[in-house]
Structure 1
Amino acid sequence: MRRGGFLFAAVVIGISSLCISIPATAADKVIKIGTLFPLTGSCALAGQRCQASVATAVEVINNSYPDIQVPLAGQEGILDGTRIELVHADHQGKPDVGKAEAERLFNQEGVYAIIGCYNSAVTKPASFVAERKKKLFMCGCSSSAALTQRGFSYFFRMAPTDQTESLEFVEVMHWLEKMKKANLKTVGLIYENSEFGKHAADEGKAAAAAGGFEVVADVAFSPGATNLNSEVQTLKAKNPDVVFGACLGGDYTLWVRTMKQMEWLPQAALNYCTGYQDPVITKQLGDDANYFMGGTGYSPEFAELMPAVAAVEKIYKQKTNPSVPFDSDSIQEAVAMFVLAQAIEKAGTLDYKVVAEALHADTWKSPLSLGGEVAFAPGGQNIKAKSLITQLQGGSYKRIYPTDLADTEVVFPMAAWTAR
């Protein structure tokens, strides 16, 4: 009897494992989607907002919101009423944890696709898991250009890349030379020693050189640093005219405060998708945040350019801190969810290959994107991705470039610490 019981239990466990590994079908009326973000660690606040952003998109997709002007808002669910259920995971900002969590989400939780991961260093191994399994990985804001240069078929990224932003930074430098009679000759880079930081630095150096500028400082640091004195001292000693920054979360705060402590600033500082874009960090820094610049895909100051966002943002604020709006990174994760749901709906199936082909073949409406549309090149990069160069003035993200979309004149050079 005991031996028979063990055999029966083994069979049941085997069947249960098999069921978990099979993605949900329309008949189940539920499809699981995994989210994989840094919910703890130095980027926890950003990760939590990204998770809330995906949850917001799912709220709109699962329920009827006819007054919200985004795709699928007027119906309930996809595929004749199939609802989306989220399974959340925390990668802690660690690539090895992200890879293991991606495996767990697919193998144990039975998710159909994963949305993540904020940190490019984690997105790289986690998305490799999905590609190996021929399952979908939707990336909102991880910006490393290398992610969409791997020839993957099941990886899709919404945001502009650090390559695109580097070219924009150099364009802004030439514009400053013309409009402000700036004498800009040198560039310095400060970046975290990670997939994101190293690729941003490589792209920044290449763009600067191609634009005729000399790179005089190349400063890397370990993510989660507790002291950036030597790094900032190196920048100060080289005194570049412009600094490109790739510092996430608390590292950005530390960098800014260390520059203030050392009473040094370049003429301009341009930031990739970093702590610069984080409204919470901006509030924490107060006046110290002002006059820094960077690429921005969304801020509340873009309301007139993106009128559909307000109604979705209202739901988003119910799922996170009500005083914190969408930011340039988190909103991309909602876009990822909306685009995936549209592709499944149009494909009429959960077949991975068919949905991936649909994602590549069509142009998707995206009112939450600055460009208004999403379309993917081979490798998964959104070729419709768009951002503006903003400058923080009075704690608000002011549009300064391109000039046809600008709402404020740039402050150049940056106001010295003692003049604030």
Structure 2
Amino acid sequence: MTGAFSRGIPDMSFTINRRNLLVGTAATLALGAGAAGKASAQTKEVVIGALYPMSGAAAQMGVDAQKAFETALMFINENSDADLPLAGAGGLPNLGGAKVRIVYADHQGDPQKGRAEAERLITQEKVCAIVGTYQSAVAATVSQSCERYGVPFFSADNSSPSLTRRNLKFFFRAAAHDEMFSAAMFDFLDSLKKKGQKVETVALFHEDTIFGTDSANAQLKLAKERGYNVVADIKYRANSPSLTAEVQQLKAANADVLLPSSYTTDGILLLKTMNELGYKPKALLAQAAGFSEQALYDAVGPLAEGSMTRGSFSLDLAAKRPSVGKVNDAFKKISGKDLNDNTSREFMALLLLADAINRAKSTEGEAIRAALVATDLPGEKTIMPWSKVKFDETGQNPYADPVLLQRIGNKFVTVFPAQAAIAEAVWPMNKS
């Protein structure tokens, strides 16, 4: 990172302030008053809300997201030589060099808590936009509140396809959704079949919130269209204390490919239970979520060797896009970790949102929305394997090209598609 910034890395500590929530009449009055606030070219600070689980089972996701956003602030507010939006500007030049500040809120993985916190951020903290939320179920309620107040919601890391099918004007997502990810997964299976591998059956395993349900629906549809036999479709309760019965069903079905859609704690329990019951599928191809998190691999060790996950990001891309290495170095310095599927998307979400606010020359919700609609950024100006960032009429970026990663030798290796792969996939994952 030598020479990347004009000043040192700022203090990344923060405190989550738990305040009484404004509800009822106060919220209604704030809505009428235009709670998003206004800004002129002389604005000194632009405030954005970040809604994440900072406590509860998914708390680590919130901590990691905070580090990703603080890394993004370094590239937005400091002077950087990276080939990224706003890098080198030292703030938002169209707003008089204003600095971006993040106000964090803890939704605890609860959709209704997320709704209440979103309204607090808008009415009390006067944020001009909100980014979040990790869990798609929380994004569903938060984005509805943002829509009601006319405040842009930028979905950093939610992958449920249904989120962009609600005719919302203020919802934007730069990363792929689960139908796009699932299509890449089945493209990979099709490519194996063309190479002579026997891949005929799949088993779906998914948690019971909107993330797992939407993922399973997308995979079920694609399996039928592509000619794969779904021999098991198992829904389980999120954060279940036991998955023994479910894994016994998976073992009995003995599919060629296991397709789990699980968050971190469930993914850990799944792999440990599979090991206890002696269940070894030919391949495990996950819908990211917990399977993109280092915490899972730390917890299960060699049990995850050979497992695969779809992804939005790969460190391998650093060979083609130098900004990847610069951002990863900055993130690792403050977090002790490499960027992953979630933190890379979170970094880019804040960068793209700040860029839109700068182009809007305003913190008015409608002006920011118009700037987001006008976004047309080449993929080379991101740290992702995307061809570009341009939102369609639903607020989705259809150019967010996924990759597939395999866990080999305690690290992720890109194995698909061919233009991004640096190695052939190990198949089957369990050689014994």
Instruction: Give the TM-score, by structure 1 length.
Output: 0.90
1:167 equivalent in structure 2: 183
Deviation, structure 1 residue 20: 9.9
Pick one of 99, 104, 108 that aligns with 1:92.
108
Query: Which of structure 1's runs of 4+ aligned residues deviate more than 4 A?
Result: 16-20
Give the structure 2 partner of residue 7 of structure 1.
Answer: none
- Give CA-to-partner distance per residue, 1:332-374, whole Å, 9 cap, x none: 1111111111112222222322221221123025422212531
Distance 2:232 2:144 in 1: 33
Query: Which of residues 247, 253, 261 in structure 1 aligns to 2:268?
Result: 253
Give secondary structure in 1 for the equivalent of 2:199. coil
Q: 2:346 aligns with which of 333, 354, 373?
A: 333
**Matches of 1:169 and 1:299, distance apart in 2:** 16
The residue aligned with 2:309 is 294
Is 1:249–1:274's contact at 8 Å kept on the other side of the alignment?
A: yes
Larger Rg: 1
**Secondary structure of the residue that 1:21 maps to in structure 2?**
coil
2:190 is aligned with 1:157: no
2: distance between equivalents of 1:319 and 1:378? 37
2:7 corresponding residue in structure 1 = none
For 2:103, the aligned partner's letter is V
- Alpha-carbon shift at residue 19 of structure 1 (Å): 9.0
Where do residues 47-196 of structure 1 align in structure 2 (5 Å cutoff)?
Answer: 47-65=62-80, 67-78=81-92, 79-179=95-195, 181-196=196-211
Q: CA deviation at 1:242?
A: 1.1
SS at match of 1:412: coil
- For 2:268 and 2:190, the matched residues in 1 are separated by 28
2:76–2:90 contact (8 Å) kept in structure 1 = yes
Question: In 2, are the aligned partners of 1:46 and 1:249 still within 8 Å (CA)?
Answer: no
Over 3 Å counting, the alpha-carbon distance change for 1:255 and 1:207 in structure 2 is same
Give me the identity figure in percent.
31
Query: Which position in structure 2 is the counterpart of 1:362?
Result: 375
- Give the Cα–Cα distance (whole angstroms) in 2 for the partners of residues 99 and 30 of structure 1: 25
Q: Do 1:24 and 1:32's aligned partners in 2 also have CA atoms closer than 8 Å?
A: no
| Partner residue, 2:37 | 23
How far apart, CA to CA, are the structure 1 residues paired with 2:233 and 2:109?
Answer: 24
Gaps of 5+ in 2: 1-25
CA distance in 2, matches of 1:305, 1:246: 30
Secondary structure of 1:89's partner? strand
The residue number in structure 2 matching 1:197 is: 212
RMSD: 2.1
Aligned to 2:8: none
Mean Cα deviation higher: 404-413 or 187-196: 404-413
Q: 1:345 aligns with which of 358, 368, 377?
A: 358
Q: Which residue of 1 aligns with 2:254?
A: 239
Tell me how far apart the structure 2 counterparts of residues 22 and 397 of structure 1 sit (CA, whole Å): 41
User: Deviations 1:219-274 (Å, cap 9, x if unpaired)?
Assistant: 11121122111111111111111111101111111111111111112211111122
Structure 1: distance between partners of 2:419 and 2:82: 28
Q: Residue type of the partner of 2:221?
A: A
Task: Report Cα offsets for 1:59-79 as digits up to 9, x if no partner.
Answer: 2211222x2222212112111
Quote how far apart the aligned CAs of 1:24 are.
Answer: 4.8
Once residues 375 and 189 of structure 2 are traced to their aligned partners in structure 1, the CA distance between those partners, rounded to angstroms, is 35
Match of 2:332 in 1: 317
Deviations 1:191-240 (A, max 9, x none): 11001000000001001010011112111112112211111111111111
Cα distance in 1 for partners of 2:74, 2:429 equals 42
Pair 1:272-2:287 in alignment: yes
Letter in 1 for 2:168: F
Q: Give TM-score scaled by structure 2 length.
A: 0.88
